Structures are given as structure tokens and as C-alpha cells.
Amino acid sequence: MIRVLFVCLGNICRSPMAHGVLRDLIRDRGLQGRVDVDSCGTSAYHNGEPPDANMTAVAAGHGVRIGDLVSRRLEDSDYYEFDLLVAMDGANERDMRARSFPNSTAQIVRFTDFVDDAVFDGDGVPDPYYGGREGFEQVYRIVVDGCERVLARALELEAERA
């Protein structure tokens, strides 16, 4: 099984949205048991909290359920238990790389590397707090586009291991 972990700062906006979208793709394509997904934050600011209410509302408006998710912090064991650690932006990618271990088995990648430039041409998924309701909608659009390619990468990793 290939395991994917989405990582942002607090694990209440961007990474839970990606978690929910990829979880739906996995379910819709019958890939349970082949690909697993989780999300976390590099900080412990919101440990134990549900996703942000605005992000939950935007997700629900698009048929994506994320209200069951609970924020947690990135753990050392994640570098060994997951195959892909997907940073939602450059700052979190740098933090993840700084905390990584030389013998870690996970690949650290940036989410926006999987996003079509026509959808979003930036180095990281923007923090929606600074864009009002439209900021949360923008995150949804970026995540939907990128998750297709993240899933494709996970399936490539599975094939490489076979």
C-alpha cells in the first residue's frame, strides 16, 4: 500500500482539503487497500481541532467531507510510515526537510509541482485566511487539480515496487 501524507502549517485548511479530495478519489476509483491518505501540520497550533469552519463549508459545497478530520502534528515516524510527504507550500517543505532523517523512506514533494500552471502558477498553495471566502474556493480549485496527479504518482510508486 502506498501512503500519502499532506502537510501544511496547522492542519486545519489546506492539508485537510487535500486529504478529503484524495480520499474521495481513492474511494471513487476503488483504490482502497492500494492507496491511503492522511494529513498533518508542521506545527501543533491546532492539535486535536477539526478543520477550519470556512474550509469545511467550502469542501461540503463541493461534496467533499472533511469534518471528521482532526488536526495533528507531523511526527518523526511519518518519515518512515508514509511514502509521499506532500508539502502544501515552500515554508512547510523546508521545515519537513530540516526535520527529515538520512534514512527516511518517504519522498518529500511540493503539492504545487502537481498543479497545472493554468490553474495556479505559484510556489505553494496560498493560505486561505488572507483571501476571504474566495481564498478558500481558490484552495479547493488548486487541490482538485493537483490531487489527480498526486494519485497518479502514488500509483507509479506502487508499480515501481511491484
Whether 127 is a known active-site residue: answer: yes
23 among known catalytic residues:
no
Catalytic entry in 3, 72, 99, 127: 127
One of 14, 23, 110, 153 is an active-site residue; which one?
A: 14
Q: Exposure of 113 by Cβ count < 10 A (0-12 exposed, 13-18 middle, 19+ buried)?
A: middle
3-class SS letters over the chain = CEEEEEEECCCCCHHHHHHHHHHHHHHHCCCCCCEEEEEEECCCCCCCCCCCHHHHHHHHHCCCCCCCCCCCECCCCHHHHCCEEEECCHHHHHHHHHHCCCCCCCEEEEHHHHCCCCCCCCCCCCCHHHHHHHHHHHHHHHHHHHHHHHHHHHHHHHHHHC
Distance CA 77, CA 38 (A): 13
68 is catalytic: no
Residues designated catalytic: 8, 14, 127
